[in-house]
Amino acid sequence: MEQRPDPDELLKHIQAEEPSRGKLKIFLGYAAGVGKTFAMLEAAHQRQAQGIDVVVGYVETHKRVETEALVAGLEILSRKQVEYHNVALPELDVDAVLVRRPTIVLVDEFAHTNAPGSRHPKRYMDVEEILDAGINVYTTLNIQHLESLNDVVAQVTNVIVRETIPDRVLDEASEIEVIDLPPDELMVRLKEGKVYIPEQASRAIDQFFRKGNLTALREMSLRRAAERVDDQMRSYMQTRAISGPWAAGERLLVCISPSPLAEKLIRTTRRLADELKAEWFAVYVEITSKPENDPVNRERIGRILQLAEELGAKSLTIGGSSIQEAVLEYARKNNITKVVVGKPLKPRWQELWKGSIVDQFVYASGDIDVYVISAREGASSPMLPKEWQPHSPLGRYMMALGLVFISTLLGVFIRGDLEPTNLVMLYLVSTVISAVFLGRGPSLLSAIAGVLAFDFFLVPPYLTFAVSDTQYVITFIVLFVISLVISSLTARVREQAEAALLREKQTSALYDLSRDLSSAADLQQVVNIIISQISQGFGREVAIFLPEGEQVRIFATSPNYYPDENELAVATWAYQHNQPAGRGTDTLPAAALRCQPLKTSNGIVGVLGIHSKDKNNFLTSEQRLTLAAFANQSALAIERASLAEQAQQAELLQATEKLQTALLNSISHDLRTPLVSITGALTSLDEQSDSLKEEYRKSLIVTAREEAERLNRLVGNLLSMTRIESGAIKLHLEPGDIQDVVGTALEQLGKRVANHKIHVDVPTDFPLVPMDFTLIVQVLVNVLENAIKYSPKDSLIEVAADLMDDANGAARLQIADRGVGIPSDDLARIFDKFYRVQRPESVSGTGLGLSISKGIIEIHHGQIYAHTRDGGGTIITIELPLRGKE
Amino acid sequence: MSDTGQRVLVVDDENSIRRYLRTALTAQGFTVYEAANGEEALNAVLNNRPDIVILDLGLPDFDGIEVTRRLREWSKTPIIILSVREAENDKIAALDAGADDYLTKPFGTGELMARMRVVMRRLANKSDEPVIQVDSLKMDLSHRLVTVDEKEISLTPTEYDILRLLMQNAGKVITHRQLLKQVWGTAYESEMHLLRVNISNLRRKIEPDPTRPHYLVTEPGVGYRLRADA
């Protein structure tokens, strides 16, 4: 079908070319800072140079030097000060412009919203008034302010722009000049501070000014300009009746409902219409039998229809008995070629039960194309069940009538046996059933139908509407009143039941959460439970932030989700100000994360972050309440877990301190004891030298000497222990002779072995063992000392060396005694620091010897262990590798 | 308390140790000179010409090893070094630098006197005795004959050389390095296993109880010593 020049169209163009209305020139850019105002001012100067009268209506220089310089040469009209909350806000003074009547007036920021109290809510309306008065206007505009591009821009930049202008205003502009700047240069300008950014938006702006975003916006603005050129070309051809390569005349229709999808459908249809160069209509179908009474929905519908108009559609409301019938009828009448509907939201079984509009459309559409636009998931709350009336409106009324019919049938069967007053109960039943299951309307219908049927079928004379007994009139009235009352009561009950169901769902979810939390053992578990419960319950990704000083850090997140720095900033703000922040709040709404501070009576224990991948998906107010309840529980659980950890650590610290104190006390005692004898002996010898007998003197001297040696050994042990602990021991490995080691150890023990028999057995030709000789001697001294300490006088201690026959080959040295033995539980613990077998009490010594030995043997990559000897006593075994390890 | 006429220089930065040594040595008839650091020590040797120097390794200005080295550049005065138990490397270094023996702090006066005696005796009897005897162990150098309780012991040449070195320096410690160098040669200075095996064999041959050596005493980490006074 060829498009002929539309007479309306022609008229419009003629009018457009008439000089009666002012011409609008828009300087279009893709972001703040590309230089639109600057270009506008330059153009103004050029005009002025040509002798044209140019004034400045409202130009925002943001104190930039270059811009101010350009403004300087032009006449500036004073601004109007609008009082708002005791603050004077400067706005464009429209009257001043009208009085002045310049040829061109410069008005910056086309999409600006005026302060409340101004003549028009939006500046573009001011401009329209000026244009109407025949004055030309130059203005500046960023591409994202266009209504039809709003959601695309939001998708690309993650920023929702609130100040928008209808597209038709752009379309009606007589000239558009695209001010373009490569994104890289813009970023440079941003860094140099040449771009004006309002402070509070700085964080969101960082996100906005990314190269990817800027490039996308730039493309949008360029494409828009190109489309316009296309349009201009087309209109040129139209007016000259040139049949051109224009698209087949498509006409689109989009069906509107109060659903939140509608806006998206509208915008998508607008874009489709643009691409197809088609007219389009936005239609709302009002079901005559069920008018939309909900004021919220009505307002929504109105808004959407207006939006459609603004975007260039013809909006209208049509009436009909069913949506698909009405739409298709209209479509056929008006040569609609394509109908746009939204993809179904409900689960499939509900559709089968209820009947889907889409299916109906498709079946009945004939040669009209049906475009099904995808709806993003999550528009409906996952926790709230939608309508639970199973029937379409017509169906319900039919069911109500059906119930009446059944009651009538029954009544007819038994009317001979019962008084009509009893038969009326049947209709009561059907009315109640209708009220409970079918809704107010159907129940009223069943009441009316019931009364009529009752009269007609069950009250003599049968099959007439006459009434033989007037008392039945009362019955009718009562029946009717009862039906009314019941139906409204049940309607209320139903609503309450729905609310209760919702509360119950919330409560049970909360119960699940607190039950799981109460069994969680530590902080990590608690956090994991919180994350999994919340992400399941809300269908979103979750992050938990815990405090670290003044800031918060990310503690745990849902799998595959990691908050970026902006989101961390949102969480930090929420923590520092103890208020929710992020998406859906008043603070930093551009972020994709909603942060809820976790509060307890002791303060803020952390921040809970909910992240939605879907930009259009906001939490309902019920969900927000539930989230707050979850947050409370979580806060308590986290606090509890943290406190438990703290308590544990405090306990540990206490235990460690106790141990340290005991240790120090023990060492102090052991160091001081020898000094007692030494000091005692020396002072005695000093003060009592005359009165002391020779043997006593000798005895004191011997005691003092032995104690001095003992003290020396203790000091040596402590030093060795310290060295081993700090890793300061350097091994000098050299081939060593086991027999030599044993002999040297015995030599060092000196008098201490005097009371025992020592038997040494090292085979001839026993190989040399790589070792640090001095250290291994020390080991042997310690082990032998231990054996001596715990063995009775004159008992035998045997030292034997042999080779182990395992793969690597190791030398084994065994020291066996016939002493008191070690309890099997303690066999490993005797090698611990400061361990002392509790029996016999007369044994002294700090208990470092074996532990030092173990340390030394381990540095040699050997082993030392003890086991009980058959027949009493202990065997301590030392193994040393024959091949020295590097 | 007779005056032996012998002079001893005590070098230690600790006043208390100097006091003790002065008392003990004076009681033995020595004339005691003192120095508190390396500088003073060198001057004191020059000025006072002691017969023996007791030198602490842990001096404040430059360490005892350096003092030993410098002294040995022009003096043969016997030097006994004092050091702590763990500083084996220092002891070895000092001994290799020319010190004659060492004492580990704390030590007894008896030990000190014994070491001093040995060291000064050696100096006194520079003459090459053909026969050296310690207890039952007798070595006849001219006949290359070693006997224990008059019973001849058959030794390999290496064992003989080791024993000879030790017996000629009876009572004095010989470091591993010195032994290896003098018995095998400079190239064998680090061949510890040779020394160990030979000592072990020697002990089995000459010691009444090889597991409790009487003559051949191990100085752990440092070397060996033939016990001079049993």
DSSP symbols for A787-842: HHHTS-TT-EEEEEEEEE-SSS-EEEEEEE--SS---GGGTTGGGSTT------TT
CB-based contact (8 Å) between B230 and chain A? no
Lowest average pLDDT, out of A442-451, A454-463, B113-122, goes to A454-463
Contact criterion met (CB < 8 Å) for A768 and B221: no
| Sign, Cα dihedral of B59, B65, B71, B76 | positive
In chain A, what residues touch B225 (CB-CB under 8 Å)?
Answer: none
Global confidence as pTM: 0.50
- From B85, B197, B212, residue closest to A768, measured CB to CB: B197
Residue A741's pLDDT is 94
- From A739, A747, A774, residue closest to B210, measured CB to CB: A739
Residue A12's pLDDT is 65
Q: Say what the ipTM of the complex is.
A: 0.89
Residue B230's pLDDT is 45
Q: How confident is the model at residue A347 (pLDDT cuts 50, 70, 90)?
A: low
Q: How far is B70 from chain A (nearest CA, A)?
A: 28
CB-based contact (8 Å) between B217 and chain A? yes
A749: closest chain B residue by CA: B212
Q: How far is A735 from chain B (nearest CA, A)?
A: 5
Lowest average pLDDT, out of A268-277, A294-303, B68-77, goes to A294-303
CB-based contact (8 Å) between A704 and chain B? no
Distances (CA, A) of A621 to A383, A512, A615, A625: 12, 21, 17, 6
Rounded to an integer, the average pLDDT of B112-129 is 78
> From the CB of residue A158, how many other CB atoms can be counted at a distance below 10 Å?
17
Please give the DSSP secondary-structure letter assigned to residue A753: G
Q: A340 — alpha (psi -120 to 50), left (phi > 0) or beta?
A: beta
Residue A885's pLDDT is 52
Contact criterion met (CB < 8 Å) for A740 and B192: no
CB-based contact (8 Å) between B60 and chain A? no
Residue A835's pLDDT is 66
Rounded to an integer, the average pLDDT of B136-160 is 90
**What residues contact A246, with CB distance under 8 A and at least 6 apart?**
A3, A234, A237, A277
In chain B, what residues touch A708 (CB-CB under 8 Å)?
Answer: 106
Q: What one-letter code names the amino acid at A742?
A: V
Contact criterion met (CB < 8 Å) for B217 and A747: yes
* Model confidence pLDDT, tens digit, residues A71-128: 888 888 888 888 777 777 888 888 889 888 899 999 988 988 888 877 788 888 889 8
Lowest average pLDDT, out of A146-160, A513-527, B182-196, goes to A146-160
Q: How far is A734 from chain B (nearest CA, A)?
A: 7
Residue A391's pLDDT is 53
A710: closest chain B residue by CA: B106
In chain B, what residues touch A760 (CB-CB under 8 Å)?
Answer: 211-212
A736 within 8 A of A776, measured Cβ to Cβ: yes
In chain B, what residues touch A736 (CB-CB under 8 Å)?
Answer: 196
Contact criterion met (CB < 8 Å) for A773 and B221: yes
Return the structure tokens found at A812.
């084994």
Whether A740 shows a pLDDT value over 90: the answer reads: yes
Whether A839 shows a pLDDT value over 70: the answer reads: no
Lowest average pLDDT, out of A316-320, B33-37, B92-96, goes to A316-320
In chain B, what residues touch A742 (CB-CB under 8 Å)?
Answer: 211
Distance, in Å, from the CA atom of A702 to the CA atom of A706, rounded to the nearest integer, reads: 6
Whether A815 shows a pLDDT value over 90: the answer reads: yes
Q: How far is A741 from chain B (nearest CA, A)?
A: 9
Lowest average pLDDT, out of A190-199, A268-277, A745-754, A762-771, goes to A190-199
Closest CA to A581 of B38, A589, B2, A504: A589
Greatest mean pLDDT among A224-238, A270-284, A287-301, B22-36: B22-36
* Model confidence pLDDT, tens digit, residues A687-730: 877 777 888 888 888 989 989 988 998 888 888 888 888 887 88
Distance, in Å, from the CA atom of A679 to the CA atom of B20, rounded to the nearest integer, reads: 17
* Model confidence pLDDT, tens digit, residues A67-76: 888 888 888 8
Greatest mean pLDDT among A362-366, A454-458, A802-806: A802-806
Residue A853's pLDDT is 92
Residue A392's pLDDT is 64
Specify the residue for token string 């011997």. Answer: A702
- From B199, B217, B220, residue closest to A773, measured CB to CB: B220
B94 within 8 A of B102, measured Cβ to Cβ: yes
The residue among A678, A702, A734 with the most chain B CBs within 10 A of its CB, best to mutate, is: A734
Whether A431 shows a pLDDT value over 50: the answer reads: yes
Rounded to an integer, the average pLDDT of A320-348 is 77
Distance, in Å, from the CA atom of A496 to the CA atom of A486, rounded to the nearest integer, reads: 15
Distance, in Å, from the CA atom of A422 to the CA atom of A407, rounded to the nearest integer, reads: 12
Rounded to an integer, the average pLDDT of A250-275 is 82
A735: closest chain B residue by CA: B193
Return the structure tokens found at A425.
């109960």
Please give the DSSP secondary-structure letter assigned to residue A601: T
Distance, in Å, from the CA atom of A636 to the CA atom of A726, rounded to the nearest integer, reads: 43
Whether A1 shows a pLDDT value over 50: the answer reads: no
CB-side exposure of A586: number of CA atoms within 13 Å? 2
Lowest average pLDDT, out of A49-53, A294-298, A677-681, goes to A294-298
In chain B, what residues touch A732 (CB-CB under 8 Å)?
Answer: 221
* Number of CB pairs, chain A paired with chain B, less than 8 A apart: 50
* Model confidence pLDDT, tens digit, residues A488-513: 787 778 778 877 887 787 788 888 88
Largest Cα separation within chain B, whole Å, is 54
Distance, in Å, from the CA atom of A319 to the CA atom of A834, rounded to the nearest integer, reads: 96
What's the full length of chain B, in residues? Answer: 230
Largest Cα separation within chain A, whole Å, is 151
Residue A185's H or E segment, with its range, is helix A183-191
Residue A388's pLDDT is 42
* Coarse DSSP helix, strand, coil percentages of chain A, rounded to the nearest 5 percent: 50, 15, 30
CB-based contact (8 Å) between A708 and chain B? yes
Distance, in Å, from the CA atom of A484 to the CA atom of A493, rounded to the nearest integer, reads: 14
Q: How far is B218 from chain A (nearest CA, A)?
A: 6
Residue A389's pLDDT is 45
Strands A593-600 and A581-582, by their bridges, are antiparallel
CB-based contact (8 Å) between A722 and chain B? no
Terminal-residue alpha carbon distance, chain A: 94
> From the CB of residue A155, how many other CB atoms can be counted at a distance below 10 Å?
12
**What residues contact B12, with CB distance under 8 A and at least 6 apart?**
B18, B21, B36, B54, B56, B59, B82
Q: Which residue has the higher pLDDT, A294 or A558?
A: A558
DSSP A680-715: HHHHHHHHSTTTS-HHHHHHHHHHHHHHHHHHHHHH
The residue among B105, B201, B209, B211 with the most chain A CBs within 10 A of its CB, best to mutate, is: B211
Q: Which residue has the higher pLDDT, B216 or A193?
A: B216
In chain A, what residues touch B196 (CB-CB under 8 Å)?
Answer: 735-737, 740, 768
Distance, in Å, from the CA atom of A296 to the CA atom of A294, rounded to the nearest integer, reads: 5
Residue A205's pLDDT is 60
Q: How confident is the model at residue B217 (pLDDT cuts 50, 70, 90)?
A: very high
Q: Which residue has the higher pLDDT, B127 or A555?
A: A555
Closest CA to B215 of A748, A779, A743, A798: A743
Average pLDDT, chain A: 80
CB-based contact (8 Å) between B86 and chain A? yes
| Sign, Cα dihedral of A192, A194, A200, A206 | negative
